[in-house]
Amino acid sequence: MSKQLHKDICDKSRFEVFFKQHAKSLYNFLYYKFGDRLNPEDKAQEAFIKLWENCKKVTPEKAKSYIFTIANNLMLNEAAHQKVVLKHQKTKTSHHTNLSPEFLMEEEEYRQKLEKSISKLTEAQRVAFLMNRVEGKRFKEIANLLGISTKAVEKRIYGALKKLRQDIEEL
Amino acid sequence: MNKEKLILKWLDNNLSPQELEAFKALEDYESIVKLSNYSTGFKAPEFNTDAALQAVLSKIEDKTVTKNNWLAPLFKVAAILAICFGAYYYTTTLDTSITTQYAEKTKIELPDHSQVNLNALSKITYNPKAWKVNQRELNLEGEAFFKVTKGSTFNVITEAGIVTVIGTKFNVKQRLNYFEVTCFEGIVSVEFENNKTQLKAGQSFVIINGNKIERQVTNNKKPDWLNSVSSFISVPLKEVLAEFERQYDVKIEVNNIKTNTLFSGKFTHNDINIALQSITQPLQLQYKKVNKTIILTRE
């Protein structure tokens, strides 16, 4: 986290720096939580525009949680708590051709199972788990972004892992 | 160190070399790593931070241009001023109007201190603003007696014609098919169907059913109705009864009587029986009173 020397971020260059720091994690957070149906990119942008409009009222320390809250609310306004299914993006493997058909089959099967299991996680678990696994964020960072304690993050991620393994085993 | 701790530490990317060995020795090591590796496939679609930033900045630009923050309070002030001015304009140009009901008479002083006596069921309207700049003009429906103070021209506009004076006393009566102007002092000019007639004190100008009626000169100083008497000289019975209805707030029904008969006489405004007798006796009629309706029949 950068030091906040200024009283607000009503300055274009300060705003840009702030945007570059947080836009991507905000976008990822929205994506993990709500999937891509509701245009997480637009909502992330909207949240930043709201921040700019209210930059006098939002202190820099609060700015990050402000955009997360705003974006989250914008999403909630639209999301009717439908089930979120994230698409597994097949990672292109260069040694693709060397793999046996059985292995490919198995791999595809596992991928589908995982997709299903992840959609069964709670929102909180899914967000924390994917932030950790996909983005390699550490517990403390996640706790910071979500405004919860590290302990809670641990609990969510471990809970997610346990549940995923169980589900995959069963399927 | 227990399994959960190890896994958590691994997840948090916080294992020491020895702990890593221990973690690798776990029986579910392989399945956890596999799960973790596959999970990375749920990566969010690529997010182009710079493009998004440009989009946001341009939207912010748009908003600040169209917003015109400093104009907003000005618009508010302008709106208030517009409303105040509108209200002021409306109220000052609004006409003052005075109306009398059945059996009601009233006395009004105009802005120029001229006096108006308004007979029953009559109405005058005028614009006080115009009077302030010496435009003396008013609209009359019904009957009124004017005592005009000297000054600029004084116009009484009625449906039937315009009565113009400068400073004098006169009575104007405009009813259905009936227009009568009587001058009591000074000179009055009456404009009727584009013809101007000058009346001197005591003279009258009478139009009944569109026909001009000659009338004798009166010596009265003011109209009789100001003394609570209605007087008529050769006026159709129809108008006499209409005046009666106005003064007593009653309805008169006639049976088989010619209402065009001319009537000369008076009736008082203070006693309905005496008033009825003063109309019915000379014409040899009978009257019957039922509530607010009076039925007239031949004797």
Kindly report, residue by residue over B247-283, the tens digit of the pLDDT. Answer: 888 998 888 888 888 888 889 988 888 998 888 888 8
B47, part of any domain: no
- Of A23, A48, A78, which residue is a domain's last? A78
Percent of chain A having pLDDT more than 90?
12
Averaged pLDDT for residues A21-34: 88
Q: Are residues A16 and A65 in the same domain?
A: yes
Kindly report, residue by residue over A50-60, the tens digit of the pLDDT. Answer: 888 888 888 88
With a CB cutoff of 8 Å and minimum separation 6, the contacts of B178 are: B207, B208, B239
Please provide the size of chain B in residues: 299
- Give the Cβ contact number of residue A41 at 10 Å: 20
- Of A78, A112, A134, which residue is a domain's last? A78
CATH code assigned at B264: 3.55.50.30
A125, part of any domain: yes
If you average pLDDT over every residue of chain B, what do you get? Answer: 85
Q: Are residues A64 and A115 in the same domain?
A: no
B262, part of any domain: yes
How far does A164 lie from chain B, in Å, by closest CA?
A: 8
How far does B72 lie from chain A, in Å, by closest CA?
A: 16
Based on the structure, what is the number of domains in chain A? 2
Phi, psi for residue B232 in degrees, rounded to 5: -135, 145
Q: Are residues B111 and B208 in the same domain?
A: yes
Asked whether the predicted pLDDT for residue B227 surpasses 60, the reply is: yes
- C-alpha B245/C-alpha B243 separation (Å) is 5
Q: Are residues B109 and B80 in the same domain?
A: no
A137, part of any domain: yes
Q: Are residues A52 and A108 in the same domain?
A: no
A60, part of any domain: yes
Asked whether the predicted pLDDT for residue A157 surpasses 70, the reply is: yes
- C-alpha A133/C-alpha A32 separation (Å) is 12
Kindly report, residue by residue over B2-30, the tens digit of the pLDDT. Answer: 788 888 888 888 888 888 888 888 888 88
The reported pLDDT for the residue numbered B114 is: 86
Provide the greatest CA pair distance for chain A: 61
- Of A78, A113, A135, which residue is a domain's last? A78
- Give the Cβ contact number of residue A81 at 10 Å: 8
Q: Are residues B79 and B117 in the same domain?
A: no
The reported pLDDT for the residue numbered A156 is: 93
If you average pLDDT over every residue of chain A, what do you get? Answer: 82
Q: Are residues A157 and A107 in the same domain?
A: yes
Averaged pLDDT for residues B86-111: 84
- Give the Cβ contact number of residue B281 at 10 Å: 11
B167, part of any domain: yes
CB contact under 8 A, A91 and B40: yes
Kindly report, residue by residue over B125-154, the tens digit of the pLDDT. Answer: 988 877 777 788 889 999 999 988 888 888
Q: Are residues A60 and A16 in the same domain?
A: yes
Written as six digits, the tokens of A100 are 């046996």
Q: Are residues B203 and B294 in the same domain?
A: no
Is A108 touching B (CB cutoff 8 A)?
A: no
Q: Are residues B109 and B31 in the same domain?
A: no
A97-111, A151-165, B145-159: the lowest-pLDDT one: A97-111
**In terms of pTM, does the model score above 0.80?**
no
Asked if residues B27 and B21 have their Cβ atoms less than 8 Å apart, the reply is no
Nearest to A41 among B35, B36, B52 (CB): B52
Strand partners, B204: B182
Q: Are residues A58 and A18 in the same domain?
A: yes
A158, part of any domain: yes
ipTM above 0.95, yes or no: no
Written as six digits, the tokens of B94 are 């609004």
Q: Are residues A70 and A126 in the same domain?
A: no
The reported pLDDT for the residue numbered B8 is: 87
Written as six digits, the tokens of B291 are 């509530």
Asked whether the predicted pLDDT for residue A161 surpasses 80, the reply is: yes
Asked whether the predicted pLDDT for residue A94 surpasses 50, the reply is: no
With a CB cutoff of 8 Å and minimum separation 6, the contacts of B295 are: B252, B253, B254, B255, B287, B288
Minimum Cα–Cα distance from A151: chain B residue: B8
Higher pLDDT, A104 or A129: A129
B219, part of any domain: no
Q: Are residues B239 and B192 in the same domain?
A: no
Which residues in chain A are contacts of B47 at CB distance < 8 A? 23-24, 27-28, 41
Q: Are residues B72 and B101 in the same domain?
A: no
With a CB cutoff of 8 Å and minimum separation 6, the contacts of B234 are: B213, B215, B262, B263, B264
What domain range is B63 assigned to?
Answer: 53-92
Query: Measured between alpha carbons, how far apart are the two ends of chain B, in Å?
Result: 132
Q: Are residues A166 and A105 in the same domain?
A: yes
What domain range is A141 assigned to?
Answer: 100-170
In the sheet that holds B285-290, the strands lie side by side as B251-254, B293-298, B285-290
- C-alpha A72/C-alpha A75 separation (Å) is 5
Written as six digits, the tokens of B237 are 């019975």
A16, part of any domain: yes
CB contact under 8 A, A89 and B59: no
A95, part of any domain: no
Cα angle A84, A90, A94 (rounded to 5 degrees) comes to 165
DSSP string, B211-264: EEE--PPP--SS-GGGGTEEEEEEEEHHHHHHHHHHHHT-EEEESS--TTSEEE
Q: Are residues A104 and A74 in the same domain?
A: no
CB contact under 8 A, A134 and B39: yes
A91, part of any domain: no
The reported pLDDT for the residue numbered A81 is: 54
Based on the structure, what is the number of domains in chain B? 4
Averaged pLDDT for residues A93-120: 77
